[in-house]
Amino acid sequence: MKPTHGRIVHRTRSVRPVRSKGPLVYTLHVQKNNGAPPSQIFVQGTVACGNDNGFAFILLFTVECSDNLYTQRSGTISSADYPNSYPKSSDCLYRIELEEGFVVNLQFDDSFDIEDHPEVSCPYDYLKIKAGKKEFGPTCGDKSPGRIETGSNSVQILFHSDGSGENGGWKLSYTVTGVSCPDLQEPSNGKIEPSQTKYTFKDQAVITCNPGYRVLKDNVEMDSFQIECRKDGTWSNQVPRCQIVDCKLPKELENGFMTFSTSENTTTYQSSITYSCREPYYIMTPNITAVYFCKENGEWINSETGTKLPVCEPVCGKPIRQLPGIVKRIIGGRNAEPGFFPWQALIVVEDMSRVPEDKWFGSGALLSDYWVLTAAHVLKSQRRDNTVIPVSKEHVTVYLGLHDVRNKTDAISRTIDKIILHEDFDPKIYNHDIALVKLKEKVTMNQYILPVCLPELDHELQGPQHNTLGLVAGWGISNPNITVDEVISSGMRTLSDVLQYVKLPVVLHAECKASYESRSGNYSVTENMFCAGFYEGGKDTCLGDSGAAFVIQDTDTKRWVAQGLVSWGGPEECGSKQVYGVYTKVSNYVNWLDNQIYT
């Protein structure tokens, strides 16, 4: 507050000023020369007194209060000293300034007392309100204006009082409301929070969708979207819609297929698909109910495996065409039907380092879509220094699905990615005569191409038992010095153009060991080998090709298990009496095979 003007109200040689203790109010007692009682002058501000030629000057100031600015969204304003009498000769300006978009509402207290005149409208003291282009007042008297909705964010309240009167003044409280925005309509399958009957300036609304739906704004999916009521009474954006979650087409299952739950093949929320493997060639691992549901997060979920898909593993040891029961001996071997031995592989090697021959072949057994099992001696490079290293993989081709060498239409060929010989293979006695071949490209299973099983169950891991009958297949190949073209052509020098097989009994290890130890030469039947054949001999004893699998059917599971690999035989003519075929004992190498394949 500051003084704006003043006037001399009295001049005397005897002045006794007395200052009151009330805030901003001064009482001056002036003794007149004629001895009249002193008069009282009320001023607000500062009284300036000074001597000028022995006289005291007393200045009465008119009070102006114009620095009252209110920016909060609510508050109270009153005349000075309310509810006591307000000061005289005052001009007070109160300003309420809020951000554009808000409107100020005033609420005057019922206790309202401003000096008025019975005939003239507010000639002395008055209250004026200006709000934007609107004006309210002047107002005086003892009737409260009550509630005034200004409709503006900027309000000026001017209060004027003259130099007389004793009135109690006024008090008001103000609140702020925002400019209203249009009502919001919840989107279908969605909601708006907070839910209000009225939204005003700066109110925010968040749109979310029910489970299985997502907010779609400008073709972009999102979890939620926020809009705000603006100062001009419009929303910052339109309410977006809720779109049902689409999990899109699920991943393909290799060697399997999917079935949709609806004829339209829908992929949206709560749709389901069922995965299946191509039976009877593949089986699902793990063995689950492979139903996947489209969930609210947009992913296909299975209750057991989550988002992870099962795997369709090749079915091992289960030919589509059942092998004849092992009941009696087959004299001289028998022609196999196509698909009897779907694991049978023909391995063709062209190795210029081989001495004395540079082309040869053997057999193997398919274990999976990438791996073929065979004997190490089939893939050992025959160098002059007799070192144990594999032939170059570029020199090896594997044929699968081959039945009649004169008809290659159902057969496939694969080049090689890796050859693994057993690190302890001894080429002198053929101990540890086992090897693996990894194909460069996987094979797809069908009725003519399926893997054989490895020993897995406890009784299988004990190896083949005495007198157990097993099967071994081959083309009875007799001349290794042939070209690759001859191997896969009708001119192949074999005992048979068609794959043949024989049934052979497992021989007691001691009997086989004794049989070979009785012969001249360095023969060693180790614990990593077993023998099969007939005591009296017969040409069918040595029909199998090198590396071919000796398979035994498990009595419980009916799977065909590779228990042996054709490895070696004695020096006598094939089929001689007490000349047994010697096989690598596969059950001794299950851990080694697992380590090579899965690590």
DSSP 217: E
C-alpha to C-alpha distance for 502 and 519, rounded to whole angstroms: 26
Alpha helices in 281-420 (DSSP H): 376-379
C-alpha to C-alpha distance for 260 and 276, rounded to whole angstroms: 11
What would the two tokens of residue 377 be? 């001696």
C-alpha to C-alpha distance for 209 and 245, rounded to whole angstroms: 10
Helices (H) and strands (E) in the chain, counts: 5, 42
Q: What's the residue count for the chain?
A: 599
Residue 162 marked in a binding site: yes
C-alpha to C-alpha distance for 433 and 420, rounded to whole angstroms: 11
Strands 291-294 and 272-277: antiparallel
Residue 246 marked in a binding site: no
Given the residues 79, 85, 369, 377, select the one marked as catalytic: 377
Q: Are 260 and 266 in contact (CB under 8 A)?
A: yes
Residue 358 marked in a binding site: no
Residue 432 is a catalytic residue: no
Among 466, 464, 436, residue whose Cα is nearest residue 451? 436
- In angstroms, the first-to-last Cα distance of the chain is 91
Residue 486, Cα to own-chain centre: how many angstroms? Answer: 55
Strands 63-70 and 90-97: parallel
CB atoms within 10 A of CB 464: 25
User: Is 201 exposed, middle or buried, given 0-12, 13-18 or 19+ CB atoms closer than 10 A?
Assistant: buried
C-alpha to C-alpha distance for 356 and 286, rounded to whole angstroms: 50
Q: Are 339 and 321 in contact (CB under 8 A)?
A: yes
Q: By three-state DSSP, how is residue 159 classified?
A: strand
Among 342, 451, 351, residue whose Cα is nearest residue 396? 351
Q: What is the 3-state secondary structure (H, E, C) of 404-421?
A: ECCCCCCCEEEEEEEEEE
User: Is 60 exposed, middle or buried, given 0-12, 13-18 or 19+ CB atoms closer than 10 A?
Assistant: buried
Residue 546 is a catalytic residue: yes
Cβ burial 274-294 (10 Å sphere, 16+ → b, else e):
ebebbeebbbbeeeeebbbbb
Given the residues 152, 546, 567, 587, select the one marked as catalytic: 546
Q: Are 386 and 427 in contact (CB under 8 A)?
A: yes
Among 352, 349, 359, residue whose Cα is nearest residue 482? 359
Residue 433 is a catalytic residue: yes
User: Tokens 């006794």 belong to which residue?
Assistant: 16
Given the residues 116, 351, 404, 433, select the one marked as catalytic: 433
DSSP 82: T
C-alpha to C-alpha distance for 374 and 547, rounded to whole angstroms: 4
User: Tokens 């299985």 belong to which residue?
Assistant: 212
Residue 203 marked in a binding site: no
Q: By three-state DSSP, how is residue 8 classified?
A: strand
Binding region for Ca(2+): 115, 125, 162, 164
Binding region: 115, 125, 162, 164
- Residues with catalytic function: 377, 433, 546
